[in-house]
Structure 1
Amino acid sequence: MSNLQEIGLTELPSLSKLYLNAAATAARRRILGGSTGEPALPAVSYHVRNVRADVDNLTAYQHLVGESASDTLPAGFVHALAFPVSMSVMNRDDFPLPLLGMIHLRNRIEQKSPLHFAKSLDVSAWSENLTGHKAGTQVDVVAEVTLHATGATVWRGVSTYLAKGVFLPGIDKSGNHQAATGREDFTPPDPTALWRIGPDIGRSYAAVSGDFNPIHLSVLSAKALGLRGSIAHGMYLASRALADVGPAKGDAFNWDVAFEAPVFLPARVALDISTTPSGSGAWARSDYTAWNPRSGRRHFTGRVAALD
């Protein structure tokens, strides 16, 4: 990040405006064609200072994903808070991949300490690791949240996205495709929970997160981007699983999730959570798996582990 040009934003950008701009950029690229030069990520980072959570929005988020009411920001809510800054990176004209239709592959989040809703935060984001995938090209978008008063990093997230069908010149498509590896045969265990997810969850999650990506909002808008129907937000699913892990996770943890198959709406999703104690008998980690209870197809896997 030290070699990146820092671009300061006066406030959190509007995600709806960013998506409109992304649609305009996509139309422009279809007409004019993409860049013919060597593909590269923009050497910039975006940051916004003095960000505070909206209490009503926090309450609505907690209710939607099943988190207990608390003055502490859930890790998934912090991701949503930082997401407009991450989107600003991907929404640039010189970003080599199309934003619309991007597939969410993985998240790795480090929650270093609890965040009270009244704390003033600084948010930064940048992109890295433009690599090949057998289905296209993937990229990591990094977001960091620091305390405005001290500069201490309290939350860090790395989101991996795939631009399916986009093969950039000079990017080896046989390269790093983490999400396609290690998928052993899956035999569903007895679930610890069964979710019933309605057709409007995409719009409900968009209302509390600001993420109005068309693939989540309706059948028509999803079909316009090549899907057979609308799908649930990956971070809604991951955050709901984190809520199901419960208070055992404590205040500081690593949280990983890898997405394998989309959840088309409406849906029933089975979830299994297994907990592993440490040598002292305290909680060490929880592993979770979610799948389609009818077909047995796995949707995502994840782990929440205590920080050392």
Structure 2
Amino acid sequence: MAITVLERPPRLGPLYRAAALRRSTGSTLPDRELRLEGVRVDLAHLAEYDRVCGFRLSDELPATYPHVLAFPLAMALMTADDFPFPLLGLVHVANRIDVCRPLHSGETFALSVRAEGLRPHERGTQLDVVATAESGGEVVWKDRSTYLRKTGKSAKSDKSDRGEPPPATAVWRVPRRTGTDYAAVSGDRNPIHTSRILARAFGFPKTIAHGMWTKARCLAALEGRLPDAYGVDVAFKLPILLPATVGFEAQPHKTWRFAVHDRRTGKPHLAGAIIEAD
């Protein structure tokens, strides 16, 4: 696989314009990796991210924070001419992060992003976008985002997803501005999160919360109870329509299993687990 080393972070504005114009162009993933070295943490940005996602202010980075640092590289990869699918229309269905050790705001990182694992799915085609962070020459963080390119009909919802809501460890009120606040701090300005009119154009009655915001909010709720090295694997279920009231449930199971559901209907939004490091 060829490695392209970037001199500076990609600018998101031109990438979003490219995303709006992209159409399907092929059937294979690019055989290259984008790499950006010398990445430092902006402390003001980290503090704002912590505020939006519910983390305490700390020198230690949340497990989800490097995902934001790597986002411009992922955008550059997924809007390039050799990427087979248009970015708008891809559905983020799952995310796995592995923290190899605690990461700190004073470190310098090298970030890399590649795409792999193109495979059929009953509702279309799936692929993974894999990001890594290195510090001092060692991989300290890994991230695998799974995307679905829908071409088939959606499966009918399971009736077990409906009915009485399960018990909740905590109840969160998610305000309408969550979409725009997270878009500002993450760079992920997909209009389904920020514009009610454009969200409707994509089939949503309201704007929806980012899946990675929901994952981050869950980890914030478990802050101080996680090991130094661990994996956190989540599946994104039904979107959170903003504003919303949701229930968060967390149960110890070796480490933790957790979920987010609609507080009124019990419909699932996210299911996840903390996985012990090997």
CA contact (8 A) 2:166 2:266 kept: no
Specify whether residues 184 and 141 from structure 1 end up closer, same or farther in structure 2 by C-alpha distance, changes over 3 A only. farther
2:193 equivalent among 200, 207, 216: 216
CA contact (8 A) 1:16 1:210 kept: no
After superposing the two structures, state which structure 1 stretch, 86-95 or 252-261, moved more: 86-95
- Residue 153 of structure 1 is matched in structure 2 by 139
Give the Cα–Cα distance (whole angstroms) in 1 for the partners of residues 213 and 13 of structure 2.
Answer: 18
Give the Cα–Cα distance (whole angstroms) in 2 for the partners of residues 223 and 188 of structure 1.
Answer: 27
Q: Aligned to 1:126, what secondary structure does the other structure show?
A: strand
User: Is 1:185 matched with 2:173?
Assistant: no
- Residue 10 of structure 1 is matched in structure 2 by 7
- Residue 297 of structure 1 is matched in structure 2 by 267
Q: Aligned to 2:220, what secondary structure does the other structure show?
A: helix
- Residue 45 of structure 1 is matched in structure 2 by 33
Deviation at 1:302, TM superposition (A): 0.3
2:177 equivalent among 197, 200, 210: 200
User: Is 1:118 matched with 2:106?
Assistant: yes
Q: What pairs up with 1:135-284 in 2 under 5 angstroms?
A: 135-147=123-135, 150-165=136-151, 185-186=160-161, 188-276=165-253, 284=254
CA contact (8 A) 2:260 2:270 kept: yes
Larger Rg: 1
CA contact (8 A) 2:64 2:97 kept: no
CA offsets, 1:214-253, max 9 Å, x none? 1111211222334332110000000000111121103211
- Residue 256 of structure 2 is matched in structure 1 by 286
Deviation at 1:208, TM superposition (A): 1.1
Structure 2 unaligned residues grouped into runs of 5+:
none
Give the Cα–Cα distance (whole angstroms) in 2 for the partners of residues 227 and 192 of structure 1.
Answer: 28
2:16 equivalent among 14, 19, 35: 19
Give the Cα–Cα distance (whole angstroms) in 2 for the partners of residues 121 and 184 of structure 1.
Answer: 46
Deviation at 1:19, TM superposition (A): 1.4
Off by >4 Å, runs of 4+ in structure 1: none
Deviation at 1:291, TM superposition (A): 0.7
CA offsets, 1:135-185, max 9 Å, x none? 2221100001001xx2100000100011223x7xxxxx9xxx9xx8xx793
Q: Aligned to 1:246, what secondary structure does the other structure show?
A: coil
Give the Cα–Cα distance (whole angstroms) in 1 for the partners of residues 173 and 195 of structure 2.
Answer: 18
Give the Cα–Cα distance (whole angstroms) in 1 for the partners of residues 14 and 266 of structure 2.
Answer: 38
Q: Aligned to 1:78, what secondary structure does the other structure show?
A: helix
- Residue 62 of structure 1 is matched in structure 2 by 50
Aligned residues with identical type, % of pairs: 41
Give the Cα–Cα distance (whole angstroms) in 2 for the partners of residues 54 and 230 of structure 1.
Answer: 29
Structure 1 unaligned residues grouped into runs of 5+:
168-172, 277-283
Give the Cα–Cα distance (whole angstroms) in 2 for the partners of residues 81 and 271 of structure 1.
Answer: 27
**How many residues matched?**
274
Matching residue's letter, 2:222: V
Give the Cα–Cα distance (whole angstroms) in 1 for the partners of residues 90 and 207 of structure 2.
Answer: 14
Q: Aligned to 2:76, what secondary structure does the other structure show?
A: helix
Specify whether residues 79 and 184 from structure 1 end up closer, same or farther in structure 2 by C-alpha distance, changes over 3 A only. farther
Give the Cα–Cα distance (whole angstroms) in 2 for the partners of residues 250 and 94 of structure 1.
Answer: 39
Give the Cα–Cα distance (whole angstroms) in 2 for the partners of residues 190 and 225 of structure 1.
Answer: 32
Q: What TM-score, normalized by structure 1, do the two folds share?
A: 0.84
Specify whether residues 201 and 214 from structure 1 end up closer, same or farther in structure 2 by C-alpha distance, changes over 3 A only. same
Give the Cα–Cα distance (whole angstroms) in 1 for the partners of residues 180 and 171 of structure 2.
Answer: 21
Q: Aligned to 1:82, what secondary structure does the other structure show?
A: helix
Give the Cα–Cα distance (whole angstroms) in 2 for the partners of residues 14 and 72 of structure 1.
Answer: 27
CA offsets, 1:49-91, max 9 Å, x none? 0001110010011111111110011111111111111221111
CA contact (8 A) 1:46 1:124 kept: yes
- Residue 279 of structure 1 is matched in structure 2 by none
Deviation at 1:286, TM superposition (A): 0.8
Q: CA RMSD in A?
A: 1.9
Deviation at 1:15, TM superposition (A): 2.5
